[in-house]
Structure 1
Amino acid sequence: MTTCSSSSSSSSSPRKLQYPIDDNDWISKLPDELLQLILSKLSTEEAVRTSLLSSRWEDVWKWRSHLVLDMNKVLETTPDEDLHRVSVELARSMTKAINNHRGHLESCIIQHYVSQCKDGTLQSWIHSVTRLEHTKDLTLVNYIPATRRCTGASLLSLLPDTFSHHSLTSLSLCGYTLIGPRAFSNCKNLKTLKLINIVISQASVLSGVLAACSSLEVVVLKVNFLTPRGVLKIENNNLKFLQLSSLNEIDRMEVYATCLDVLDIRCIKVKKDNFILVAPNIQVNTNVWLDDHGRIDCPHLYYHVSSYLAQEEKNIWHELLVSDFHDMRRSGCLSVSVDLTDPEEVEILKEVLLMWTNLLIEFEILFKNKKSPIEEGECSTNDRTHAKPFPNADVCFYNVWLYNFDGWNEEEFAFVSRLLMQETVIIKMMIETSSFPPTKKSNAEAAVAKLMELPKRYKHVIKCF
């Protein structure tokens, strides 16, 4: 058994046992809590090996709160003809480690071979780590050799309610084929679901999986369908974060999510008129960069910035947003809605912009949460032109689109002026004014006139629409 490193020690307290300890063995005299902390710095395999040191160490590893059981590193160097035999031997060791573990698990990662999908071993592992170990975060990875791409070999055929234990809140699956949603029945316990490199029989199966997991807040989909037609429907009023990747051509996609704050589209193939999004927080033009053939040629992120977002939740989101990008820096297009008068939202905007590489193709921003001006008709002056609402990142924008920019808000005016004076806008800045009532439109046009007076290289860059 080969394992990856694991961190954090168990919060459970093992039963105190008395062992004969050599007077010179000061480490073994340490309390169990400190020994567990030491072992938390080791991989699962290394921690298990410490049980051979002495009877004092025999049970210490069994109380760790994170297990990583990985046979892939061995299989990668195993000849194809020996893969099944070697995987069965490794599976026995992994089963022993799971059965010997005590206490509850914060997380468990199991990386295995396709043989364990067929012989019931995977089902047994899932039962043990969820029903007995009460794992909160479970990751299952199916190893498929590069020479074998048969979808039937990686078929994930599990019993109903397999993932429905109340302790399981996060599930990640990678490298499987799904032909039905029965393993996900009654999965109201799940808050996070990641389906990575998954082949699914048809769009309706995925719709059924997501419908069965009605409490989901984070969904990451990198899937393909065996039948490249049908309707994918995502309807969940708890959903806050949705990431879509590698969705091959389907007839229609519908997303209904009243609490959705982040929509991260990496690649989808659906015609513009057949991509339906009902999400009040995503107020920007959600399909403006879909072409007539139903493709998004570059990644596009829609982010509703909110100061109510917990720090831990925000960290998880931002880690997902830069996943799969080179050097953990994004490319493509960005649409945000933000209140620049809220310092916490400004800080989040800073972090989002710093995710990007040197070039952001389209930057769309909706200014929200307006306050009343001091005097009717008063517009912002340029005395705050040099304010710094976000750091001096080396990022340029082909095009910038501004919505709800009416000119009197000093933070917004400073933000826009700085974009222009730093010459970060390469082609044009489009400011929407046509939907404003007369007074508001007049304020916005006055602000645009002041922006045109700023010292910058591109005098023609600002346009109203």
Structure 2
Amino acid sequence: MRLVWSPETASNAYIHTVRSCKSYRDSSVAEFLSATAAGWNTRLIVETWSRGDPIATSVGLAVAAIHTCGRHVCIVPDEESRSEYKAVMRGAVTSDSTEVMVLDSAEDVVERISGVDFMVVDSKRHEFVNALGLAKTSKMGAVLVCKNATLKSIPGFKWQGLLRRGTRVVRSVFLPVGRGLEIVHVGASGGGNGLRKIPSRWIKHIDPRSGEEHLFKRASSKGKGKGIKYPVDRISMLPDEMLQKILSTLSTKDAVITSTLSKRWVDQWKRIPHLCVDMRNIMRTNPTSYVHELSFRFAESMTKTLNNHRGHLESCTISHIQFIFLFIDRWIQTVTREKQTKEITLVNNIVSLATFSKLAPLLRMEVNTPRLVIFDIKSIYCFGYSVEAPKLSMFKRDYWVGGMSYPHLSYHISSLAQEKIRIWLELMVSQIYHMKRTGSLSVSVDVRNPNEVEILKEVLLLWDGEMMDLEILFKNNNAPIEEGESFITGGARNKWWDGEKPFPDDFFRVCTVWMYNFDGSNEEEFALASRFVTQGTVTEKLMIKTSTYPPVKQLMTEAKVAKLMELPKGYEYLDIECF
């Protein structure tokens, strides 16, 4: 008997770990080890952990044990580590298969554990690395892993000098995942007594999609002392989609490095959905005088990376320095037109302010793009923007008042295809969470459409504190509703402002509301303004623009504003004005 690889179990454990570790900063090692442990269908998984270590790997191994119905054992150095481990794991993953043992000595603990299928230790602790050599592996073989391999505490680290005498090493490899993984596959040995079985000349692999069985003949060398060579490692036998999911968890640099592993990996990175190219490392590791020359070399390499990528991109982040503006336009053209990129992030890094002899404020920024949907500007302050983008739904930028930065978000509400826009809106609002009280929002909405009103309500509720300014632009291109027609199906047309419930809720507050294109004859718009006045939503000013109206419409609208002034105010000192 020997360990058998199951790509389907590996894929399920990988996806489960991605979801469980989404809140951890560095989870690539956890996802990889979880997929590997589950893919080999391991029944006894052993790891070492000490107080203060990251918990992501432990979560991944616990997930693997769930999918294999196996046992997960964690060895810790003391009682404090045991308590902390249990507390952290309790909030990360639900598993009844995890056991915790205190390491009195490596010999004592490992003697109590036999039949190890999968073991992970941290190379930063000498006693943990020694535990690898004492492990009693399963008769079917085992996979042993040493993580943080670039920080190994034992110089001259070699598996053959560490493992038990007579242990048959089938294959060992170093992977640039996280801070490095040293992995060894120990072959079936009949109980670890050193007896060597003659392996089969054939490798059997069953395609999980078609169910077809494939046989690969082992390539062996006739030279004396040379071991058996496998045509391909088990990880490389995973489907392309699985390999690309694994690479998508790495940085772009590490993903490209994997192309040197074997021919199987050469083109895998070229289909990952996210690219991030960062030039800041040039500034950190080189004198300023060399940065100019090196930046051009790096920019050419960056161009090759973008050109070599195949397929479409979900997102692309380019962190550049100011010397290579000639390349930026080319990169934008490539990622938008050829790669159909959905999200682009450009970060301009300043090498040194001392290189500028004179600084001047940016007076105007012009953007012209026919397909732009969401536009987010950070740390760029100018006096005016000109944005020509017919599909633009959301625009976020910052502006300066009295030496402080105030975030401002503009949102064009539409009832079509809102799910993705809502996700982006929530993300952008979360980015200014600590500045919500000083933030402002502009919305364009049709209050005659209950769907858009419901979205407006969701948008306002994202601010859980007092908003500084709210600008509302009422859409005026609404077609008249014919008799019997309704925005809401079934029965008579419901009015969203019916009832006593405040809009959007009892707690939302805004200092000043500015209303544009306000039509006094529109009962929905008047109802919204009335709600803001009477329920105390607006705390300082309600400003309605009428100065651009024709004389007759201006008089009619100002008459409606006068009626708003007569309403009982939720705030006694609320000012209602036309401008």
What interval of TM-score do these two structures reach, taking the shorter chain for normalisation? 0.5 to 0.7
Q: What is the correspondence of 1:154-165 to structure 2 with a 5 Å cutoff?
A: 157-158=301-302, 160=304, 162=306, 165=309
3-state SS in 2 of match to 1:321: helix
Per-residue deviation at 1:217? 4.2
Q: Which residue of 2 aligns with 1:399?
A: 512
Mark the CA change 1:323 to 1:364 in structure 2 (over 3 Å): closer, same or farther: same
Q: Does 1:448 align with 2:423?
A: no
Distance 2:149 2:520 in 1: 60
Q: Does 1:255 align with 2:377?
A: no
Distance 2:237 2:365 in 1: 46
Q: What is the correspondence of 1:5-20 to structure 2 with a 5 Å cutoff?
A: none
Of residues 251, 257, 263, the one that matches 1:121 is 257
3-state SS in 1 of match to 2:365: strand
Mark the CA change 1:344 to 1:268 in structure 2 (over 3 Å): closer, same or farther: same
Q: What is the correspondence of 1:207-218 to structure 2 with a 5 Å cutoff?
A: 207-212=329-334, 213-214=336-337, 215-218=340-343
Does the Cα contact within 8 Å between 1:331 and 1:356 map onto a contact in 2? no
Per-residue deviation at 1:335? 0.8
Q: Which moved more, 1:162-171 or 1:445-454?
A: 162-171
Give the residue type in structure 1 aligned to 2:577: K
* Structure having the larger proportion of residues in helix: 2
CA deviation digits over 1:80-131, x for unaligned, max 9? xx9xx9969956769x8974542325744344598x69xx727769x98794
Does the Cα contact within 8 Å between 1:87 and 1:112 map onto a contact in 2? no
Q: Which residue of 1 aligns with 2:312?
A: 168
3-state SS in 2 of match to 1:298: strand
Q: Which residue of 2 aligns with 1:304?
A: 412
Q: What is the correspondence of 1:219-258 to structure 2 with a 5 Å cutoff?
A: 219-226=344-351, 253-258=365-370
Distance 2:564 2:481 in 1: 19
Mark the CA change 1:451 to 1:459 in structure 2 (over 3 Å): closer, same or farther: farther
Q: Which residue of 2 aligns with 1:174?
A: none
Distance 2:346 2:535 in 1: 37
Of residues 489, 512, 525, the one that matches 1:412 is 525
Mark the CA change 1:442 to 1:412 in structure 2 (over 3 Å): closer, same or farther: same
Mark the CA change 1:142 to 1:264 in structure 2 (over 3 Å): closer, same or farther: closer
Mark the CA change 1:290 to 1:326 in structure 2 (over 3 Å): closer, same or farther: closer
Per-residue deviation at 1:269? 2.5
Q: Which residue of 2 aligns with 1:336?
A: 443
Give the residue type in structure 1 aligned to 2:343: V
Q: Which residue of 1 aligns with 2:388?
A: 278
Q: TM-score, normalised by structure 1?
A: 0.60
Mark the CA change 1:93 to 1:53 in structure 2 (over 3 Å): closer, same or farther: same
Does the Cα contact within 8 Å between 2:280 and 2:320 map onto a contact in 1? no
CA deviation digits over 1:6-59, x for unaligned, max 9? xxxxxxxxxxxxx989xxxxxx99x9757743442132321112344469xxxx
Query: What is the number of equivalent residue pairs in this alignment?
Result: 362
Specify which structure has the bigger relative contact order, considering alpha-carbon pairs within 8 angstroms and separated by 6 or more residues.
Answer: 1
Distance 1:306 1:424 in 2: 24
Q: Which moved more, 1:332-341 or 1:96-105?
A: 96-105
Distance 1:34 1:112 in 2: 25
Per-residue deviation at 1:316? 3.8
CA RMSD of aligned residues (A): 5.2
Of residues 466, 485, 496, the one that matches 1:359 is 466
3-state SS in 2 of match to 1:160: helix
Mark the CA change 1:148 to 1:132 in structure 2 (over 3 Å): closer, same or farther: closer
Mark the CA change 1:342 to 1:220 in structure 2 (over 3 Å): closer, same or farther: farther
Per-residue deviation at 1:464? 0.8
Distance 1:315 1:286 in 2: 14
Mark the CA change 1:222 to 1:89 in structure 2 (over 3 Å): closer, same or farther: closer
CA deviation digits over 1:178-232, x for unaligned, max 9? xxxxxxxxxxxxxxx344x65453555434322332344433444434488xxxx
Q: Which residue of 2 aligns with 1:48?
A: 36
Does the Cα contact within 8 Å between 2:509 and 2:538 map onto a contact in 1? yes
CA deviation digits over 1:420-454, x for unaligned, max 9? 22323232121111111233323321221111111
Does the Cα contact within 8 Å between 1:431 and 1:464 map onto a contact in 2? yes
Mark the CA change 1:424 to 1:111 in structure 2 (over 3 Å): closer, same or farther: same
3-state SS in 1 of match to 2:532: helix
Q: Does 1:201 align with 2:313?
A: no
Does the Cα contact within 8 Å between 2:471 and 2:515 map onto a contact in 1? yes
3-state SS in 2 of match to 1:219: strand
Q: What is the correspondence of 1:62-141 to structure 2 with a 5 Å cutoff?
A: 90=179, 99=236, 101-104=238-241, 107=245, 108-111=247-250, 121=257, 131-132=267-268, 135=271, 137-138=273-274, 140=276
Does the Cα contact within 8 Å between 1:402 and 1:432 map onto a contact in 2? yes
Does the Cα contact within 8 Å between 1:266 and 1:298 map onto a contact in 2? no
Does the Cα contact within 8 Å between 1:263 and 1:302 map onto a contact in 2? no
Does the Cα contact within 8 Å between 1:431 and 1:463 map onto a contact in 2? yes
3-state SS in 2 of match to 1:419: helix
3-state SS in 2 of match to 1:463: strand
CA deviation digits over 1:358-398, x for unaligned, max 9? 02122111111335599xxxxxxx99586768430633222
Distance 1:203 1:407 in 2: 51
3-state SS in 1 of match to 2:304: coil
Distance 1:258 1:387 in 2: 43
Q: TM-score, normalised by structure 2?
A: 0.50
3-state SS in 1 of match to 2:406: coil
3-state SS in 2 of match to 1:447: helix
Does the Cα contact within 8 Å between 2:440 and 2:467 map onto a contact in 1? yes
Give the residue type in structure 2 aligned to 1:300: H
Per-residue deviation at 1:455? 0.8
Distance 1:98 1:35 in 2: 10
Distance 1:434 1:143 in 2: 51
Q: What is the correspondence of 1:373-388 to structure 2 with a 5 Å cutoff?
A: none
Give the residue type in structure 1 aligned to 2:314: S
Per-residue deviation at 1:264? 3.6
CA deviation digits over 1:150-204, x for unaligned, max 9? 6969967335253564533213xxxxxxxxxxxxxxxxxxxxx344x65453555
Mark the CA change 1:351 to 1:49 in structure 2 (over 3 Å): closer, same or farther: same
Mark the CA change 1:169 to 1:46 in structure 2 (over 3 Å): closer, same or farther: same
Q: Which residue of 1 aligns with 2:427?
A: 320
Per-residue deviation at 1:336? 1.0
Does the Cα contact within 8 Å between 1:87 and 1:113 map onto a contact in 2? no
Give the residue type in structure 1 aligned to 2:478: K
- Which ranges of structure 2 fall in alignment gaps of 5 or more residues? 18-30, 44-63, 65-123, 125-146, 156-173, 184-232, 354-359, 483-494
Distance 2:149 2:535 in 1: 50
